[in-house]
Structure 1
Amino acid sequence: MSQPGSQIPPLINLSNSIIAGGTFNQHIDQRQYLHSGERAGYARLVENVATAALHDSVHVVDPPKCHPNTRVTIIQTIIDWASSATLDEEVNQKPILWLKGGAGAGKSAIARSVAERCSKEGSLLGAFFFGAADPTRNHVGRLVATLAYQVCLIVPEFRDIVSTVIEDDPLVFSRSVGTQFTALFIRPLSTIVANQPGTVKVPRLVVIDGLDECRGGSQRDLLFALQETTSSTTFIRVLVSSRPESHLNNAFSSSRLVHIHYKIFLDDDYSAQEDIRLYLDDKFGEIKEGHVFKHKLPATWPGPDIIRELVYRSSGHFIYASTVVRYVESSRHRPDQRLDVILNLRPPFKDLPFTELDALYRHVISKAEAPSTVVDILAFPILYGTGVVDGATIEKMLQLEDGDVEVILADLQSLVKIDCKTMYYGESVEVELLHKSLGDFLCDSQRAGDFYLDPFTVQVHHTTRLISIVSTTFEHWGIRALDDKATWLLAADEIIVPIQIESRGSVHGVSGEKHSYVYSDFLQAALQFPTFNLIKQMHTDLDRHQHEYASLFNFLSAYLRCLHSVVGV
């Protein structure tokens, strides 16, 4: 606290501190600005800056950035687009680029690497990195002020214009994001370009990362404000990165945005696996050279087969690989033993290896409207594999309405891929996991908690449900209803599993693991199943040949094998 009559200390040169990667106090006393001759409007602008949202902010500890020599093609593609230097003229004309990808695909690392490189090259106009857990940057309230502040540092003429706007309208920061963009961004830039054509070089690129982490319903408004910005100032390019959430898919597909944006989908980036391999090779090399227990490591550790397995488990998502590295490189443990924990070759230490990844999975699933139903649906691709069981089968098995799978998983598109296909029997929806480790999470009770699914218990439930569906369908609608168009029968040999039930009612999976449940529902369904009548009608139906009941034969074969495995039946 200054004593009466003491002189207020001079201000730090904010321009130099930001450009050099420094920082400043977000809550700066306006009196210091006024004392140093700074305008009140500019002081208000600085007050509304989210310092943690800057690409080089000191407030973000260990910010994600691309590992050297990885993501090279994607980064160069973005930079070429930003400078209209791509070979595709149609792409050059699109002012917005949407970089989308599943959770942990590396979107923020790419966006930050692009921002840093463009900043060094003088082509970055501004950047804003949303963060769901940070109250200063999980909303649009500080977005325009943060961007405008960065433009002030790059284009000095911009500062006086913006300061005047704020002084004329002190409540401008309380207005809609569209109004703020117009008042504090579009008009000032347009005025500068119009008054001094050719004399002022204005960078082109604006980077907005983590749009899905912006709270409330303002994401669509922000996208439409960006559309207005790019149409009013044609030299601006905007890179937006986010997860492929349903409402964002809808916004980018709207008539206002569909024709003006270029899309890069990271989940289709086949070079990601090679980049992850390079990242793991480099990181394990650093561990072997610099770890305190490096003398304990075998010469061939970790070996190409283990690297290959880790690359496979990563599913093209850097978050898995980086989580593995952070766990293995712990200075308090032997790296080879920590890696054995990752590979399930030894019990975990006190600190579980996938805490960060598990928190991500838990957060995404819990945001869904019906998390328990989401887990029930995800059990199918986890247990039976991609493409084996389609959406119609899942809906039949879980007693959902037609189209429910696609609707329920709409908010899970950062973890799963929903693929719509046209089949001979109609439209089909297949659900594919974007993260192979998601199944490991859900099938581990310690990791998943309330979301845990016991694979064997779930398969027995599915088996019981399938038996009951066939029995009820045959009883009410006859054998003709069980033809080859009943797609849920085609998955019978995958769904129906061998079951071992002892006389006391204890149940074992095929692996020998004991389950303390009495599967009376399964036994009841089997006792009520009309095996004889069903087979008799298949052989006495004079209007149809037996091969026309191929799907039903498929079911009966799996069903009878299941009964054969049950002790005492």
Structure 2
Amino acid sequence: MDWFENPKGECIFWLNGMAGTGKSTISRTVAWDLAEKKRLAASFFFSRGRGDISHAGQFFTTIAAQLAKSLPALRPLISKAIEENVDILKQGLSEQWKHLILSPLKNAPAQSIQLVVVIDALDECDNKDDIQLILKLLAQAKCLKTIRLRVFVTSRPETPILLGFRNLLGEAYQDFVLHNIPPSTVNRDISAFFRKKLSLVKSEPGLSSSTPWPDEPTIQRLVEKAAGLFIYAATIYRFIRDDYNSPEEQLSVILEEDHDIHPQSPTKHLDEMYTKLLQTVQKDSRLYHNNVRCYGC
């Protein structure tokens, strides 16, 4: 968090990386840490195909509502802006940003404070023009003097995002590329993730605590299968702690070798995992429905 703590840091921090590299996990961790420090202004997590969070229609209104909660001094200014612009919900992103966020922040009672807006998966906003406009508008926050607003953005390095930053016309931003991190560092973090999460599973009632589970060689096998992808580790954790089967059974399914996946595929282990998960879910579903029919006899 050196970027946030540095008073001379850039207005926008862009964390980018390929799918599965852990962007959303990091953004949630950052948001949680900022909230603990009372420095989180607002957060918005885009998700393609998920209703109101798949587009920018309620982006700035959501940010404004959270800002009013985070910083009570802004409430009367935002309320006044709404009263003076009764159709603000129907106005464009530029007008919403100007009236609901930028102007209240400029006119708020003077106080030296720095807040952060966290935006996850901006690339999943379904309107590419909106993506570029959002970046352009957020960059205007650099003009704020007393209440300084920083923006933490995560996304894949897709064309609309790249063009959005390129079109800032010299506006400074800081970026970090997740998929350029050395594999040894990524593997160490994934190993730590497995140890922590699976220790939580082991602590649940019904599991023996007298023997190590999983052992170190198993952890290393899981790390190898993850192949640097946090999405693999997170999905495996959710699968292992599934309520239908025991964690030991779930883990054994993952560790089974599967030679049907093309060995040269760059996502070999990820493909293998999803294939096994779908097969397991299908089998469990059949067992469930068979039991229901039996009970109904």
| Equivalent residues in 2 for 1:39-438, closer than 5 Å | 77=1, 80-84=2-6, 92-192=8-108, 196-197=109-110, 200-217=111-128, 218-227=130-139, 229-233=140-144, 235-252=148-165, 254-256=166-168, 259-270=171-182, 271-294=185-208, 299-344=211-256, 384=264, 433=266, 435-438=267-270
Report the 3-state secondary structure (helix = DSSP H, G, I; strand = E; otherwise coil) of the residue aligned with 1:158.
Answer: helix
Residue 331 of structure 1, CA deviation: 4.0
- Structure 1 residues 441 and 245 mapped into 2: Cα distance closer, same or farther (>3 Å)? farther
1:187–1:286 Cα change, 3 Å: closer
- Correspondence list, 1:524-535, <5 A: none
After superposition, the Cα gap between the structure-2 partners of 1:145 and 1:94, relative to the gap in structure 1 and judged at 3 Å, is: same
Q: Are 2:226 and 2:270, in contact at CA under 8 Å, matched by a contact in 1?
A: no
SS of 2:252's equivalent in the other structure is helix
Q: TM-score, normalised to structure 1's length? A: 0.44
For 1:251 and 1:156, locate their aligned partners in 2 and report how far apart those are by CA, in whole Å.
32
How far does residue 272 in structure 1 lie from its aligned partner after superposition? Answer: 2.8
- Would you say the 8 A contact 1:292–1:331 is kept in 2? no
Structure 1 residues 301 and 102: alpha-carbon distance in aligned structure 2, compared to 1, 3 A threshold: same
Alpha carbons of structure 1 residues 120 and 445: separation in structure 2 relative to 1, 3 Å = closer
How many angstroms apart in 2 are the aligned matches of 1:437 and 1:258?
Answer: 42
Unaligned runs of 5+ in 1: 1-76, 86-91, 347-378, 386-432, 449-569
Paired with 2:220 and 2:241, the residues of 1 have a C-alpha distance of 19
CA offsets per residue over residues 453-498 of structure 1, 9 Å max, x none?
Answer: xxxxxxxxxxxxxxxxxxxxxxxxxxxxxxxxxxxxxxxxxxxxxx
Alpha-carbon spacing, 1:294–1:149, altered in 2? closer, same or farther (3 Å): same
Cα pair distance change 1:141/1:288, threshold 3 Å:
closer
Query: CA 1:288/1:137 → structure 2, altered by over 3 Å: closer, same or farther?
Result: closer
Aligned length: 272
| CA–CA separation in structure 1 for the residues paired with 2:239 and 2:277 | 18
- Residue in 2 that maps onto 1:62: none
Q: Give the Å deviation of 1:107.
A: 1.6
The C-alpha deviation readout for 1:47-93, integer Å capped at 9, x for no partner, is xxxxxxxxxxxxxxxxxxxxxxxxxxxxxx3xx212316xxxxxx44
Name the amino acid aligned to 2:206. V
1:244 and 1:93 map into 2 onto residues whose CA distance is 22
Q: Please give the residue correspondences for 1:489-508 in structure 2 after superposition, counting only pairs within 5 Å.
A: none
What percentage of residue pairs aligned between the two structures are identical?
28
Correspondence for 1:405: none
Match of 1:523 in 2: none
In 1, are the aligned partners of 2:18 and 2:157 still within 8 Å (CA)? yes
Measure, in 1, the Cα distance between the counterparts of 2:277 and 2:240.
20
Q: Distance in 2 between matches of 1:171 and 1:163?
A: 13
State the distance in 2 between where 1:292 and 1:263 align: 46
Counterpart residue identity of residue 245, structure 2: H
- Do the aligned residues in 2 keep the contact of 1:251 with 1:257 (CA within 8 Å)? no
Match of 2:219, as an amino acid? I
Matched with 1:44 is: none
> CA separation of 1:205/1:287 partners in 2, compared to 1, >3 Å: closer, same or farther?
closer
Residue 201 (structure 1) shift = 4.1
| Distance of aligned partners of 1:331 and 1:185 in 2 relative to their CA distance in 1, 3 Å threshold | closer
Q: Any idea what SS the aligned residue of 2:51 has?
A: coil
Give 1:212's aligned amino acid.
Answer: D
2:272 corresponds to 1:440: yes
Structure (1 or 2) with the greater helix fraction:
2
Report deviation, 1:263: 0.8
String of CA shifts for 1:11-37, please: whole Å, max 9, x gaps: xxxxxxxxxxxxxxxxxxxxxxxxxxx
Q: CA deviation at 1:312?
A: 1.7
The CA deviation at 1:154 is 3.4
Deviation track 1:346-377 (CA, whole Å, cap 9, x = no partner) reads 9xxxxxxxxxxxxxxxxxxxxxxxxxxxxxxx
User: What's 2:293 paired with?
Assistant: none
Superposed displacement of residue 237, structure 1 = 0.9
- Cα distance in structure 1, aligned partners of 2:170 and 2:221: 39
Write the deviation string for residues 306-365 of structure 1: whole angstroms up to 9, x where unpaired: 21121122122222112212222334433333222112259xxxxxxxxxxxxxxxxxxx
CA spacing shift, 1:155–1:216, aligned 2, 3 Å: same
Q: For residue 149 of structure 1, report the CA deviation from its aligned partner.
A: 1.6
**Pairwise CA RMSD of aligned residues?**
3.0
Conserved in 2, the CA contact under 8 Å of 1:96 and 1:261?
Answer: yes
Question: Any gaps of 5 or more consecutive residues in structure 2?
Answer: 280-297
CA contact (8 A) 1:314 1:436 kept: no
Describe the shift of the 1:201–1:150 C-alpha distance in structure 2 as closer, same or farther (beyond 3 A).
Answer: farther
